Amino acid sequence: MALNVFEVALYAMILSGGQAPLTCERHEAATPVVKCSNGAVATEDEEGRIRYMDGTTVYKGQNGALSFSNGISSHWGSAGWVQFTNNVSVRRTGNNNFKSNGGLTCRPLSDDRATCDKAG
C-alpha cells in the first residue's frame, strides 16, 4: 500500500494541535517518506500503518475510529465532526477535503503533495 500524503498531512495537523498551517510532500528514497513543513516525517510500517519519526503510529479501528500510539483517540461528535482527545475536531467537506475547528482546511494538491491551510 502506498503511503498516502493526504492522510499524513491530515494526521500531522491533528497531532500538532490543529492551529498551524503545514504542507507535506513525498520524497522517494529506499523507503518512501513524507516530510511536512512543521517537521513531521512519516513512513509506513510493516503493517501498512503511518508511523511518524517521533514514534507515533496511527491506528484505524474496525469501526473507522482513529487512535494514535501517543494516547490521542477519536470519537464521532455532533454534526459530523470527528473529535480528538487533544481538542482538535475535523469534518469532511463536500469536496472530500477536511476542515478543522482551528480554521484549517486540509486538501491534496497532487498525489505527492498535500496542505492544511486557511485558504481553503
How many angstroms separate the CA atoms of 51 and 58, rounded?
6
Closest C-alpha among 4, 72, 58, 14 to residue 38:
14
How many angstroms separate the CA atoms of 96 and 10, rounded?
12
Q: Are 25 and 113 in contact (CB under 8 A)?
A: yes
Distances in Å between the Cα of 49 and the Cα atoms of 14, 58, 84 are 16, 6, 19
Here the cell at position 79 is 454534526
The whole-model pTM stands at 0.94
Tens digit of pLDDT at every position of the chain (120 positions):
578 999 999 999 999 999 999 999 999 888 899 999 999 999 999 999 999 999 999 999 888 889 999 999 999 887 889 999 999 999 999 888 999 999 999 999 999 999 999 964
